[in-house]
Amino acid sequence: MNRVVAFVKDSFQEVQTKVSWPGISELQSSTILVLVGSLIFALLVGVVDFGFKNAMELFYQSFLR
């Protein structure tokens, strides 16, 4: 149990003293970059999904005729 307590105390001290936290402007620019990247990726996945959906519908309809 002492090892767990020592680990938590050391981790907390390291976060307080050794970690360099970003400034507000860097944080905002990084957040915007992640949001834009996520939106682009979601649109790309949506387009590919729409294309596969239509391709599979055409493929299955060719067997039902």
Note the pLDDT of residue 65. 67
Are the CB atoms for 53 and 61 separated by under 8 Å? no
Diameter of the chain measured on Cα atoms = 73
Cα separation values, 14 from 2, 17, 24, 44, Å = 18, 5, 21, 40
Q: Which helix (H) or strand (E) holds 58?
A: helix 24-64
Residue 64's pLDDT is 79
**pLDDT tens sequence across 9-64:** 999 999 999 888 899 999 999 999 999 999 999 999 999 999 999 999 999 998 87
Q: Which two tokens stand for residue 23?
A: 């400034």
Domain segments of the chain as ranges: 25-65
